[in-house]
Structure 1
Amino acid sequence: MAREVLKLWSGPDALLKALRPYVGSHELEIQVAEPGSLEERITLLTGLIDSIRQQWQEQREQVIEQTDGRVSRYTGNNYAKWLGVIDLWAASNQRTLSVPKELFKFSASTLVQKLKKGQPSPTLEIFDVIERLESLPRTLADVLFAEALVEVRERFKRGKERLHQRTFDDLLTGLDQGLVAEGGEALARQILNLYPVALIDEFQDTDPLQYRIFSRIYSAQEPLGLFMIGDPKQAIYAFRGADIFTYIQARREVTDHFTLGTNYRSTRSMVETVNLLFDEAEQRSERGAFIFNRDISFSAVNAADKSAPLRLDDELYPSLNFSYYDDGEEINLETYRDVMAKACAREIGSLLQAGLEGRARINQQALKPKDIAILVRSKHEAALVRQELRKLNIPSVYLSERDSVFETRLASELLLLLQAVLSCENETRIRSALATRLLGVSADELERFRTDEALWDHEMQRFAHYRWQWERFGILVMLRRLIFERELAARLLGLEGGERDLTDLLHLGELLQQAQITQEGAHALLRWFETQLQRPNQEHKDQQLRLESERELLKVVTIHKSKGLEYPLVFAPFVCAVRSKAPKETLYHREQQILLELNASDEAKELAEQERLAEELRLLYVALTRAACACWIGVAPSRDLKIKKPVVTILCFTEAVSGICYSMVRYEISRGWSGLCMSWPISIPRSR
């Protein structure tokens, strides 16, 4: 059993990482195939496998007699290879749930299906046993996951009770239970007396538990009011537990709907462009622009026209710009990202140069880096585009929502430094610390330390002094002294990405100083620091990366972080680079039920893929609507994206950003509408 479990998860930490997103999801129902317990599953599977092995060895000749030549294609070299593979497996003593795929060529239904006309049906019991084994999930993943989730939730609950702690989820769960328990109606009336009117903002990000609470409190009684305010097209927080299907349920149950029909953020041209894209998609797709067309539809909005457009050389810069790459072949996602990062940086460089020359202006003000935001999905995408910006000497700052300072390279290097300080008699650890980018000792200097004994003794004394300062005055004092003595600030700021490193170093120093209050001694503090690096908490606000500069730089922002914000110019170079691999767990909805399958059926996979696609389209909508003046999008023909070369067309995302249906809306260039533009291909000079 241990061997099978280790095939699924490398250890407790890996299992916990898989469980963590679902620990607080009490509405979740895990779909487990029968048999539904760990012991029953492994007993049944091992029993069937042992039986097949034994019967194969005993009845091998009879198997050949009933299949060789009697079943189509069960003859010749391939047939002999199948038998050889199964012979080796049956003779082995390895205890495993893995079986050769060739075995299932001898299942009863397969043999009957391929049986030659006029031949008698195979009658051996082993064929039925193989059929039974094929029908079962040959894994412990679903049952172990389900049992582990129950166990982790129970231990988490007991731990909180022991420490007399309650989380925000506990407060919600307690209120939900209280409203249905004895005295629940009185509790609801008391809340109503305190708050006869409730306004819930960002309601598209709610979950079933929260909606159930408000529904019970604000029932049909008068006088009271419940106002649920939200835009389902901007529901992009499923990874945090937000449930768009709760919004859909609420919308169906509420009779009065009101819509805000005016955009006060964007220029008229930008608003009309987005209207055109999604109106066209709404009309062309049976499922609507956002898949769930019955409940999430697109309605064109008006423009307040309070924003000034971007002008380039006294002409209006197009509201929507597609940069299309085509070298004659479909490309993979890695190439797509690389090409679009370069194209994005080049276009930004061109615009900023025009701003310096006074040719690019917004409301008579020269275009500046602070006017531009690049929207990405991940740290990896941010790193790609920032690397290209640095090549053009364009400084930028990366704003992410969930990255922990304990996940940075600087944190790992600081750990090496602190280990060297506390083990100042250990020459190997000191050399490791000196060789980091943080301390920046070159290979030549390290060689000098090896050959110059006096110089090395002096260096070891410095580390001993750092240890004395740490134990006497605290870790932050020691770190600041080290930064001053070794002139780390000046050296780091002279390196690429050094501003980020210096910010992280000071941030980590503050966190260590805070933790020092609760830790007994320097060694305990070091152990605490090691634990944080192993298990960073991205939800803890104190750990989240800080802005490395207060300067008004170009911003690289995750799409999730950008929600609710606005930028004059938005660049979305990687909107087509959606997740290409399906997750191990299949999470989907059926009516109002949230289901999780580890051994997913084809139907479950299809429903989960539909929900994933719908969220990708909402991400695209959020990205486009952050722009006040103009938006730039990068697309390319890809094996994954299924995008084909356009002729004189404008690309319109109907049902997919990637990997699903993709359509193109023809737009006659002769009509001269300036709202849209195609720059195609990016390998030649732009033409608008």
Structure 2
Amino acid sequence: MPQQTMKMSTNPIADMSFTGLHWIEASAGTGKTYTLSSLMVRIFLDRYMPNQVIATTFTRKATAELKARVRLRIEETRDFIYGLLAASQDELAELQQSLSDPLYQQVLKDHGHHLDYAYNRLNVVLQQYEELFVGTLDSFSQKLLREFAFESGRIEQVQISDDEDLHIERIIHDLLRDWIQQQPAHLIEYLMLNHQLKGPEYYLGVVKESLNFPSVDLRVPELPENALALFEAMCHQLAQMLPAARVELAACFDAASHYKNLVDARRFNKGAFFVTFNTRIPEFLQHFEAAGSQGVLTQSDVLQPTMKAIRSLFYDPNKTEFKPRVFKDKIVEEQPDVSKEFYQHAFIQQLRAVLSAYEHINQAEQYLNFYLAQEVKKRLPQVLSHAGETTFSQQIRTLSEALQQSSAAGKDSFAAHVLARYPLILVDEFQDTNQDQDDMLSSIWRVKERLHQGCMIMVGDPKQAIYGFRGGDMLTYRKARHDIQAKGGRCYTLNKNHRSVKNLVEVVDALFHRQMDFGEQVEYTPIQAGEREHPPLIDHEQVNPKPLRWLALDETLNEAEQVAWQIQSLLNQAQQGHLYFQDNNTQRALTANDIAVLGQNHFDLEQVQQCLLQLGVPCYKASRDSVYKSSVAQDVAALLTAILNPYQEAKVKRALLSRLLGFDLKQLVALEQQADGLSEIIEKLEQIRQIWNEQGFRSAWNSCMTVFQVWTRLVAGQSRDNERTVVNLRHIAELLSQQSEHYTGAHKLYQWFIRQINLGINNESTQERKLTGQLGVQLMTIHASKGLEFGCVFLLGANAGLSEKGNLNFSLKDNQQKSLGLERVIAVKSSDLPEDDIQQNDARNEAEHHRLWYVALTRASYRVYAVLRHHEVEKKQLAEARSGLTFWRGSAPDLFQHADSADADVLRAAPPILTQTQVEAVVLEAEEIPNSHFYPRETTSFTALTRTAHKAHIQRDQLAAVMTEQEDSAADEVEQLEIIEADTAEKISWIKRHFPKGTKPGSFLHKLMEKVRFSTPEEKLAKAIASRFHSDVEFDSPQMLQNLIKQFGQTANPEQDEAELIEEMQEWYSQIIHTPLHDGFSLHQLNDGEYRSEMDFHLSMADRALAIRKIRLLFERLNEPDLQIQDLNDVFTARYLTGSIDLVYFDGQRYHIADYKSNFLGDQTAHYDHTYIRESMSHSSYWLQAALYLVALHRYLKAVMKDYDMTQHLGGASYLYLRGMDGQSDRGVYHWKPADTFIQNLDAILSEKVVAKT
């Protein structure tokens, strides 16, 4: 489908409908996050709840920002709607026309007639907001495999490996050892002498790079199996031909021959051509005849110069194509026979054959790289699986394969389950998606037959695809876009830059218009300035003149020094009042915090950092160091060693001398001289060790910090490293705490920590964190700056050449079975690759280079300084004419010209450092400490509220942990035995009397009522009940059945006894569903779709301690003496009440709840009259349970029903005491319908609103 036929829109906030496929291309600065957060508000208002939506982006930092921005946008929209609840329709229509916010316009358009519903729905969305998944695709795949373990067929529990590099290095080590043993000894010696065989760590780069592309196979290089024999044969033939060649090619061996005037002297300077024939070749053959090929291969001082000299006869330097250039161009044109005769001579042909055989040997290094990469790709999953571990990339591949296998088998149940659970997904930064990730996404949300069942929103910008080294591939992006087009998806584009001021947007847009083709079929999209208001930057009474400035350096200027001087100059101007932001009537001087320096590598940035520090300019560059490489990590290791080995004095002394415990040698000697000095320390360490073994790492760590006053010691003295030490220590403690959940036992956690230190694991989670005082000029790589915004930006090396990237060569080949008819091909880099493949790889790198500089140039809000380096060599200038920003700027006479672009004046000396103006000190007054306390959002439940008071007192400090436990369905049931004196009283049936009592049997009955449909035909009911006994193994139901059969024991045939017992259960179930609940209504009247079993809920409560006393007073006001609740436990930290309603049903008029109780009240039918049931409900506080569940149902109905009326729609609570239900009378059932005001007041107490009078 041609691209132009794809539906286009520039306003996705208003135009998007949330079904099918949607593609948003968001150029830099066009308000992508604003658009996505607005779309999420519409999604929640129009169709889905948070637990049905997935949002993914590229980094964990971006996910946190996106989730925060979405929440803020929901709150803003809710408050906007709240302010309009009293407005008339005419006022709303007039307001809609005047609004500039597209989201608010659309909200009024879609929900103007029922704003109260929209307001209530957004409140519910905010209450359930934590159920929204916002994360990376890696974490999402982990979530899917965990939630759909059965459907995916991956039920084994694995964790993300922290030792991936270690596993890879071990595999490489084993592979290298095996490969070396299989090769001839002289080949290995040759590779070693020529530095072509290295240690396992050397090959990590190419192996890990290949693992970023798991779905693409490496091109298999030619295996140099017979290379040594071929080389020896070719050399032997050459030696035999040498005497004749001295005669036939005498001119080549004589420096005074006529060839002297024919050979190209620029290529063969200083007689190199004659040296090759006179010296190099004869000496090489002499060594060959003396030592053979095995010997000569190890003599690199002879072999290497000879092969290099022979190669120069056939190839241009650094080129792979055959291009004979021995003779001068004039000779080749005027006397072509000279060159022809030379190259056709048998000796010259044999020289080329020797060179070819030699290069064939050198392919061993390329083959070794391929062999290691390919074998690691095969073996790593097996090694990880054996260790019970996986990696994010392996996890995505596992998920993708499971989806594809399910689809290939004609069973799309896995993908269909995921789609039903999460019908909408929003994928941000789609341009950085790799093939496995896209395969996974397309298998779920882009299946043509299921497009109407869900919605997929893909957001990205191909111009910002700069993470090819992490697995991103523009071919994947192009294939996905083609797929969207073919399936009728809709495309949107954001074309207004809100980040930058208007004149900067216009000049940058004009620059990119000079070359709109970025390469790899990525085209620049014209951009306009957005409506965002920026405070003007005033520069010497002008509004931001020349926002794009070119800083061209000459040979006398140092780049880092010049940039530092320019920044100091800007700060001086700001200090003098010449450079400031005018925000309404206030002026704010430009500061170092408004400036950023971006570069392609860390070395250049570190040079600028040094120059800035010398000038005293505050600056910050994020640390690349691992916290495991810090001295604090060594001290923590020493401390943990002492804790685990408290009686080994040497280890204890090492811990004491660490900065954590703060002893010096003098203090340690004094401690040893005390009678109980060291023994007291040992005793404390032993106590901490016991705490670690009994209560876990966190308790032991906190105890250690307190006992030894570590935090106080660290900051006791003045040191510039204090904050770094504290931050690193907290960071390490956090990492250890996280891992303590995965490693059982103190020694295993300790061994893990020591291994991290030895390996120096360095990734996003282990890099040293930013300190609070690290402000000033931001220095970062262009890659790291993606998505960020700065006021003024300096771009280092804006005309720097393209550096060699990676160990792999990327190319494409035709394959009509693939999308777009193309297939990605990857090979280990080598000069022996086809020239077309090398050119394709160069073009790919060049295209990504252009995209990198697009990202760099679009970071600034006000001004850009592009630093152009001086190139002394003319050839280098020509080679870099298309590098960096010169790709668009051009060169004379076609140099970029624009009214808002200019050359900046270079500085020849460091500007003076102006002292800061003394500002009058502001007197700070502390506010009073608030009386309100804020608590974490934990959960509680009815069961936790009604636990016995003495148990609550013991566990109060651990309340949050207890509250979040998974409770059994029958956890709140209490057996209550009552005896009736009359012996002749009617008894309940045998099965009701003898069915086991307790939590597990009760939970089994709950599960039976949940799983067996009320409409099940009589002839199928016995089979359905029997299947529950055999399948609900978590309740020990098979053993329960056997015990019942033994008690039943009517016949000698167990199978017959089981059949009769199932008949008893069938009769009991039938009595339950036919017993009238209220107004003659019973469960057997319910059709599928008129009820919902096991309805889970999270009821939001106020951000403070639950008002238990108010709840008791509310029940006392009912003035019903036999309707009581027991003492309740205090709840301080819970902010959600969780529960599961056994049954919610609709009787045709109202919605009711039902709760199944398996409580044994006695063996007489009279024990289950209303009097006894009310007493049981008071004894177990079931009245409170019923009331809480009705509040939950009330809130739910209010959120999902547009015309909800409590009086009309909310029913009561039916308590079903299953053992007493006989199918005819109302025994075993009690239906309670409290007044609406009672439910409203309880709702108000939970949410801490003003309580109305009952």
How would you bin the TM-score normalised by the shorter chain? Answer: 0.7 to 0.9
Distance 1:64 1:170, change over 3 A: same
1:102 is matched with 306
Q: Give the 3 Å change call, closer, same or farther, for CA 630–135 of structure 1 in structure 2.
A: same
* Residue of structure 1 equivalent to 2:903: 678
Match of 2:495 among 223, 247, 261: 261
The one-character-per-residue Cα deviations of 1:83-140 (angstroms, maximum 9, x if unpaired) are: 1134235534548587445258779x96998888889943799668526515635232
Q: How many angstroms apart in 1 are the aligned matches of 2:398 and 2:857?
A: 37
Q: Which moved more, 1:79-88 or 1:675-684?
A: 675-684
The correspondence of residues 422-501 of structure 1 with structure 2, limited to 5 A, is 457=669, 473=688, 490-493=717-720, 499-500=723-724
Deviations 1:298-342 (A, max 9, x none): 4233332422232123322332222221137xxxxxxx8xx2322
Distance 1:588 1:124 in 2: 34
2:477 alignment counterpart: 247
Contact 2:396 2:437 in 1 (8 A): no
- Counterpart for residue 200 of structure 1: 427
Q: Does residue 355 of the first structure (1) align with residue 583 of the second (2)?
A: no
| Residue type of the alignment partner of 1:312 | D
What aligned pairs does 1:357-372 form with structure 2 within 5 A after superposition? 357-362=576-581, 363=583, 364-372=587-595
**What are the residue-to-residue correspondences of 1:598-609 with 2, within 5 Å?**
598-600=829-831, 601=833, 602-609=835-842
Change over 3 Å in CA distance of 1:80–1:664 after alignment to 2? closer
Question: Hey, what's the Cα distance between the residues in 1 that align with 2:617 and 2:226?
Answer: 63
State the 1:555 CA deviation. Answer: 2.6
Alignment of 1:199-348 (within 5 A): 199-216=426-443, 217-221=445-449, 223=452, 225-255=455-485, 256-282=490-516, 288=517, 290-292=518-520, 294-317=521-544, 318-327=546-555, 339-348=558-567
- In the TM superposition, residue 531 of structure 1 has moved relative to its aligned partner by 3.2
Change (3 A) 1:612 1:685: same
Find the residue that maps to 2:226 and give its secondary structure.
helix
Separation (CA, whole Å) in 1 of partners of 2:593 and 2:750: 40
- Cα offset, 1:72, TM superposition: 5.1
Q: Could you give the per-residue CA deviations for residues 555-604 of structure 1, whole angstroms, max 9, x where no partner exists?
A: 32332232222222222234445653454433344443141233243333
Query: Which string of whole-angstrom CA distances, capped at 9 and with x for unpartnered residues, describes residues 462-507 of structure 1?
Result: 99998887666467877895966876674431x7xx7546533553
Distance between the aligned counterparts of 1:661 and 1:278, measured in 2?
A: 6
Match of 2:375 among 151, 154, 173: 151
- Distance in 1 between the 2:898 and 2:212 partners? 54
Query: d(CA) in 2 for partners of 1:212 and 1:390?
Result: 49
AA aligned opposite 2:618? P
Distance of aligned partners of 1:659 and 1:626 in 2 relative to their CA distance in 1, 3 Å threshold: closer
Question: Residues 321 and 678 of structure 1 are in contact (CA less than 8 Å); yes or no, is this contact kept in structure 2?
Answer: yes
Which residue number in structure 2 is paired with residue 65 of structure 1?
244
The runs of 5 or more residues in structure 2 that have no matched partner are 1-179, 181-187, 256-273, 316-321, 327-337, 689-699, 814-821, 912-1254
Identify the residue that residue 943 of structure 2 maps to in structure 1. none
Pairing partner for 2:626 from 404, 417, 437: 404
CA distance in 1, matches of 2:711, 2:473: 50
Report if aligned partners of 1:86, 1:100 keep a CA contact under 8 Å in 2. Answer: no
Aligned counterparts, 1:125-140, within 5 A: 130=354, 132-134=356-358, 136=360, 138-140=362-364
Q: 2:283 is matched with which residue: 84, 95, 109?
A: 84
Query: Quick one: structure 1 residues 583 and 236, their matched pair in 2 at CA, closer, same or farther if it must change by over 3 Å?
Result: closer
TM-superposed CA distance for 1:247, in Å, is 1.5
Higher relative contact order (CA 8 A, sep 6+): 1
Measured after TM superposition, the shift of residue 262 of structure 1 is: 0.9
Distance 1:407 1:682, change over 3 A: farther
User: Per-residue CA shift, 1:222-241, capped at 9, x if unaligned?
Assistant: 53654432111111111211
Q: Which residue of 2 aligns with 1:332?
A: none
Distance in 2, Cα, partners of 1:18 & 1:466? 50
Identity %: 22
TM-score by length of 1: 0.76
Change (3 A) 1:365 1:654: farther
Counterpart CA distance in 2 for 1:94 and 1:668 is 59
Query: Which of 26, 29, 53 is residue 214 of structure 2 equivalent to?
Result: 26
With over 3 angstroms needed to count, the CA separation of the structure-2 counterparts of 1:141 and 1:668, relative to structure 1, is: closer
CA contact 2:221–2:370 (8 Å) conserved in 1: no
Structure 1, residues 207-264: CA drift from partner, whole Å, max 9, x if none?
2233334445524445365443211111111121111222223334544543211112
The 1-side partners of 2:605 and 2:680 are apart by 40
C-alpha spacing 1:254/1:125, structure 2 compared with 1 (3 Å) = closer
Q: Looking at CA atoms only, which structure, 1 or 2, has the larger radius of gyration?
A: 2
TM-score (norm 2): 0.44
Aligned to 1:30, the other structure's residue is in SS state coil
Instruction: Output aligned runs, 1:590-601, within 5 Å.
Output: 590=813, 591-600=822-831, 601=833
Counterpart AA for 1:153: K
Flag the 1:141–1:465 CA change in 2: closer, same or farther, 3 A. farther
The CA deviation at 1:544 is: 2.6
Q: What amino acid does structure 2 have at the position aligned with 1:265?
A: R
Shift in alpha-carbon separation, 1:189–1:520, aligned structure 2, 3 A: closer
Deviations 1:610-663 (A, max 9, x none): 222222221211122121122222112225897869xxxxxxx98321898971
Q: Is the 8 A contact 2:228 2:361 kept in 1?
A: no
* Cα deviation, residue 75, structure 1: 3.9
Q: Distance in 1 between matches of 2:288 and 2:907?
A: 56
Please say which of residues 228-237 and 215-224 is displaced more in the overlay.
Answer: 215-224
Code of the residue aligned with 1:608 in structure 2: it is N
C-alpha separation in 2, matches of 1:489 and 1:557:
33
Letter paired with 2:244: E
Specify whether residues 251 and 72 from structure 1 end up closer, same or farther in structure 2 by C-alpha distance, changes over 3 A only: farther
CA distance in 2, matches of 1:157, 1:324: 52
Counterpart of 1:87 in structure 2: which amino acid? Q
Displacement of 1:278 in angstroms is 0.7
Report the alpha carbon displacement of residue 270 of structure 1 after superposing the two structures with TM. 1.6
Which residue is 1:650 aligned to?
Answer: none
- Conserved in 1, the CA contact under 8 Å of 2:205 and 2:807? no
Opposite residue 207 of structure 1, the aligned amino acid is N
Query: Contact 1:234 / 1:618 at 8 angstroms: preserved in 2?
Result: yes
Aligned length: 632
Q: Distance in 2 between matches of 1:15 and 1:610?
A: 26
Equivalent residue of 1:394, what SS? coil
CA contact (8 A) 2:231 2:358 kept: no
CA distance in 2, matches of 1:543, 1:228: 31
Distance 2:410 2:905 in 1: 67
Moved more, 500-509 or 480-489: 480-489
